[in-house]
């Protein structure tokens, strides 16, 4: 496995694989590798001859400087795990490599609508930072396919739209959210939870599952469901941040044409912001508690 931090040698390696007729899969990460990341790597391996993983904590997608500084960085451990998985190259650029003229002078890519609703309302620059770094990495790696988790549901929708709108020749493959045994969505930020907070954290997915069950049982009073869900989170000691029930394709409010909904949630537990989501097939209703 090669660890490359400069753009030119990575492009040289990519060109070599291209000439060999190799298919390339790409997994962009911000590091602090856990099992959830490794499921993406395994999916990449199933869909390509060569797997490239990037590790870069992207400053322009953080709304607060202290959040960027506090993001866990475990590069040596990350590289060791990826080596075990047989990754061919780990790309580890510095901020100076990715933004040589500084972030204020850098060009940005902004995806309309999807980037400015839901989470984008409270974090107005977040998705612009995500799409800018993703397309920059795409241009450097030039993969045939890229692998993303469904845990960041709106982010995945934004990236899908960007790839479609800009006619990028890249297949986007999504992988189900990797979860702990108790249901908590895996995240690099989970390591910041205290022991007590970690025990309470699975309440978030439990509330999403409860809302999903209510919807599949026929409830359409979405505002009341959101209110009830936030109350349950609050009672469990979490600080609700955002809770939405939307069309899973358009991210707009549920309509008569909606066949699949998505429940999107974020909540603070101590200093950690947890995010999660569940999709709900509106064409199937629960008729017996034993089905849950």
Mean per-residue pLDDT, 195-207: 97
Determine contact, residues 15/38, Cβ cutoff 8 Å.
no
**pLDDT over threshold 50, residue 292:** no
9-42: per-residue pLDDT in tens? 999 999 999 999 999 999 999 999 999 999 999 9
Determine contact, residues 92/3, Cβ cutoff 8 Å.
yes
Kindly report the average pLDDT of the chain as a whole number.
Answer: 95
Mean per-residue pLDDT, 61-90: 92
Q: What is the C-alpha to C-alpha distance for residues 89 and 41, in angstroms, rounded to an integer?
A: 12
Q: Is 37 a catalytic residue?
A: yes
Q: Which helix (H) or strand (E) holds 292?
A: none
Report the CATH architecture of 2-175: 3-Layer(aba) Sandwich (3.40)
Phi, psi of 140, deg, nearest 5:
-75, -50
32 belongs to an annotated ligand binding site? yes
Residues in contact with 290: Cβ distance below 8 Å, sequence separation at least 6, in sequence order: none
Residues in contact with 231: Cβ distance below 8 Å, sequence separation at least 6, in sequence order: none
**pLDDT over threshold 70, residue 288:** no
Residue count of the chain, please give it.
292
**pLDDT over threshold 90, residue 287:** no
* Active-site residue identified among 37, 106, 116, 234: 37
Q: How confident is the model at residue 61 (pLDDT cuts 50, 70, 90)?
A: very high
Class of domain 188-284: alpha beta
188 belongs to an annotated ligand binding site? yes
| 46 or 66: which leads in pLDDT | 46
Q: How many CB atoms lie within 10 A of CB 176?
A: 11
85-135: per-residue pLDDT in tens? 999 999 999 999 999 999 988 999 999 999 999 999 999 999 999 999 999
Q: How confident is the model at residue 289 (pLDDT cuts 50, 70, 90)?
A: very low
35 belongs to an annotated ligand binding site? yes
98 belongs to an annotated ligand binding site? no
48 belongs to an annotated ligand binding site? no
Domain boundaries, the chain: 2-175, 188-284
Determine contact, residues 16/167, Cβ cutoff 8 Å.
no
Report the C-alpha dihedral over residues 169, 82, 273, 275, rounded to 10 degrees.
50
Q: What is the C-alpha to C-alpha distance for residues 153 and 273, in angstroms, rounded to an integer?
A: 15
């Amino acid at each position: 496995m090669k660890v490359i931090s400069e753009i030119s040698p990575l492009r040289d390696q990519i060109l070599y694989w291209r000439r060999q007729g190799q298919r390339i899969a790409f997994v962009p990460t911000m590091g602090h590798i856990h099992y959830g990341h490794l499921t993406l790597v395994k999916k990449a391996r199933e869909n390509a001859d060569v797997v490239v993983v990037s590790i870069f904590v992207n400053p322009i997608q953080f709304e607060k400087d202290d959040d960027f500084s506090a993001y866990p960085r475990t590069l040596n451990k990350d590289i060791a795990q990826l080596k075990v998985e047989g990754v061919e190259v780990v790309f580890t650029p510095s901020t100076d490599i990715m933004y040589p003229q500084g972030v204020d002078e850098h060009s940005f890519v902004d995806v309309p609508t999807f980037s400015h609703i839901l989470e984008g309302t409270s974090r107005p620059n977040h998705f612009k930072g995500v799409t800018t770094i993703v397309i920059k990495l795409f241009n450097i790696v030039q993969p045939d396919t890229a692998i993303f988790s469904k845990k960041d549901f709106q982010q995945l929708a934004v990236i899908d739209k960007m790839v479609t709108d800009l006619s990028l020749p890249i297949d986007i493959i999504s992988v189900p959210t990797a979860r702990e045994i108790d249901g908590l969505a895996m995240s690099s930020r989970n390591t910041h939870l205290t022991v007590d907070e970690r025990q309470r954290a699975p309440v978030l997915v439990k509330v999403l599952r409860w809302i999903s069950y209510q919807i599949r049982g026929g409830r359409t009073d979405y505002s009341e469901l959101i209110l009830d869900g936030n109350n349950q989170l609050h009672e469990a000691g979490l600080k609700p941040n955002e809770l939405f029930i939307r069309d899973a394709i358009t991210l707009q409010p549920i309509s008569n044409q909606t066949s699949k909904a998505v429940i999107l949630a974020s909540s603070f537990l101590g200093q950690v912001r947890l995010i999660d989501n569940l999709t709900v097939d509106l064409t199937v209703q629960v008729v017996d508690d034993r089905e849950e």
